[in-house]
Structure 1
């Protein structure tokens, strides 16, 4: 397994062309499923002989495997074709999330199958040692000697520079610079990229969750911090500096509420987990999802909690109306603690959204709840780690 940095050939060279052709075959198998060599040639536009050489090399590397012969696909000379599929036996990617009150991990194989996922509460924000311990545990548990760890990703609630390594600003966890990437690299022994948590979760929802098949989607985190991930046709929209989606600090909601960033009036200070708990006089337990489940139980018994959640939903809707007017998403996926609260937040959010859309011609985006749980960002970080393979930057054969 090598990277472009290990090769002298530029993208336009013979070596670079071979890598790009290989990535075409890998992407086709991942996105469209198993196919014969003849079908892969049609899908990718490559010559059948080229596809045959690529598949042979990938098979030797245990990246693809032949399936049982069927009579449904016929090769050029009339012999039944043999479908090939991605193999999950050898190559893995690992994703992590470092958040205020928990750390998470997810391990994916090349087929996109989740091999392991877990979350652990932490005692304080930005607990890098807990994240490193979780990374080492996951490597021993899921990778071991039988697999190759291609790459890893770490999701954080903050701004990450375009080098996918340097944390520029993360007030809720107090971690900046490249130290986090270096610590995880040292623990795992593979390349590590760092990404915004909302971007990672949005990427996961687009490839595994509630936004699969949606061309234009917006993901809204539901943790202590509030951020957004913007997905267009399965790919993230990151903006000029890579900071797109930092919506938690828009001046929406209670103008007197103090935010973790030090300012007043941020959206996060009205709809973030700590803000919601302060409204109902409740303290946090373990993860945001576990806390929200208890809060939902209180709402079943206490009208005052129902009213407080309706106010939160209204504030959610106001912010989404602004974002919908700018981004025009088809679907908005709400994750984290919003999921257990469900319609208690979604119903008032829809009402506020309807009331604030400027023109009757505007279509209200469909509001959906995340299907991936607290591991969404870690899963997205693992999927993004594999993206270098499917882009041809990391060579498996």
Structure 2
């Protein structure tokens, strides 16, 4: 019932019964229980036809239940808070040097960010039913443990356990950032509804989230999508994973900075205060506007390698769309045409593959956005996880 309302929108009891095949008594009983849990609300009257009494319209109730998504990456922590209807309540990022911090300091900062966000949502009278954390690395989703995040320097970090102990008694889940971003794009992004797509994170590291047949592809052990570590150049640079010539050493944000603005490259002790990625990209754009030839050369090289790696993905997975996230989307006008030309040249199926690069509209927010939606999905899948409201707090109808 809850999923029906989420998918189809507000409806009368009669319409719900007619479209679901449930009898009216069952529909009324289920609606009463969902109301008691603060998940649906009566919002007014709707006339179903030319005759008969109008019926009350039932809608999802966004006033009491919400979810929180977070992402910790090399140089920032992002938070995204949603209510049950998908309305954004929190959407912010702070600069944080996770690459230069040890695990304990990173988790302490993450806990502090969670506490602040939960306080804001509590002030809005929302009960947070789930927290999901996006991390750029290999994750055991069942235990919430980050097995290996090379760009953060993390190994076997029990993120869910530490976060649950330090914040609130709310279910905490942890997943790969690219997987969560791919889910965000599939549900509400530029390629929404496309059953076969690949999402690429344009960060220091490059990860891939794969939607195949409308489902997230995890692989046998849950580690599918580590496309940034495809070996593309045996004579290339050393990667953060310890191997040589990985794809992310050619197209990651660190590679762009190294080529276009070496004095602002990651890892330099004199590169200044911690910056969120947009600030680094603004510096690139400033140099481009000033006519620095290194910027155009760097973007051409990034685009070439983006197309080479994209062709590997197209040959292997046959997606309809490769969604470019992060900084790739910011520089779409300088990257997509050349990358598409390389892909078209190298893909075995040629034009029959029909695979296109497109730029995300979620920018660096995709992973946290997808993380929040995962927590909302848990409520849609099992509404009984939401406790009954006290009788005096249970809504009957609300005019909108």
TM > 0.5: yes
Residues 1:348 and 2:370 aligned together: no
Whether 1:128 and 2:101 are equivalent positions in the alignment is no
Q: Deviations over 1:202-257 (max 9, x none)?
A: 11112222121322221100111110111246532212211111101001247321
- Contact 1:296–1:341 (CA under 8 A) maintained in structure 2: no
Indicate conservation of the 8 Å contact 1:95/1:106, yes or no.
yes
Q: Distance in 2 between matches of 1:178 and 1:303?
A: 42
Contact 1:291 1:337 in 2 (8 A): no
Q: For residue 354 of structure 2, what is the aligned residue in structure 1?
A: 364
Following superposition, the deviation at residue 294 of structure 1 comes to 2.4
Match of 1:249 in 2: 229
Task: State the Cα distance separating 1:299 from its structure 2 match.
Answer: 2.5
- CA 1:141–1:233 in 2, change beyond 3 Å: closer, same or farther? farther
Mean alpha-carbon deviation: is it higher for 376-385 or for 278-287? 278-287
Tell me what 1:318 maps to: 308
**Structure 2, unaligned runs of 5 or more:** 266-273, 389-400
- Are residues 1:261 and 2:248 paired? no
* Kept after mapping to 1: 8 A contact 2:141/2:174: no
Q: Is the 8 A contact 1:104 1:375 kept in 2?
A: yes
Gaps spanning 5+ residues in structure 1: where? Answer: 1-24
The CA deviation string for residues 53-98 of structure 1, in whole angstroms up to 9 with x for no partner, is 1111111222111122122x259x9332222110110001001111
What does residue 307 of structure 1 align with? 297
Indicate how the Cα distance of structure 1 residues 222 and 360 shifts in structure 2: closer, same or farther if over 3 A, else same. closer
Residue 89 of structure 2 corresponds to which residue in structure 1? 115
Any conservation in 1 of the 2:143–2:160 contact (CA below 8 Å)?
Answer: no
Count of aligned positions:
371
Among 134, 151, 160, the alignment partner of 1:155 is 134
Residues 296 and 340, structure 1, Cα contact 8 Å, conserved in 2? no
Return the alpha-carbon distance in structure 2 between the equivalents of residues 78 and 204 of structure 1.
42
Identify the residue that residue 388 of structure 1 maps to in structure 2: 378
Would the aligned equivalents of 1:200 and 1:380 in 2 still touch at CA under 8 Å? yes
Question: What TM-score do you get using the length of structure 2 for normalisation?
Answer: 0.87
- Please state whether the residue corresponding to 2:44 is helix, strand or coil: coil
Q: Does 1:93 align with 2:56?
A: no
Runs of 4+ in 1 over 6 A off after TM superposition: none
Q: How does 1:134-213 map to 2 (within 5 A)?
A: 134-144=113-123, 146-163=125-142, 165-177=144-156, 179-186=158-165, 187-213=167-193
Q: Return the TM-score normalized by structure 1.
A: 0.88
Alignment of 1:223-302 (within 5 A): 223-232=203-212, 234-253=214-233, 255-280=235-260, 281-283=262-264, 286-300=275-289, 301-302=291-292
Relative distance call for 1:282 and 1:234 in structure 2 (3 A) is farther
Matched, 1:218 2:218: no
Instruction: State whether residues 277 and 283 of structure 1, in contact with CA within 8 Å, keep that contact through their aligned partners in structure 2.
Output: yes
Change (3 A) 1:367 1:42: farther
Residues 81, 89 of structure 2: 8 Å contact kept? yes
- Structure 1 window deviating more from structure 2 (161-170 vs 193-202): it is 161-170
Match of 1:41, SS? helix
Cα distance in 2, alignment partners of residues 67 and 208 from structure 1: 25
CA distances 1:184-218 after superposition (whole Å, capped 9, x unpaired)? 21313201000000011111112222121322221
Instruction: For residue 178 of structure 1, report the CA deviation from its aligned partner.
Output: 5.1
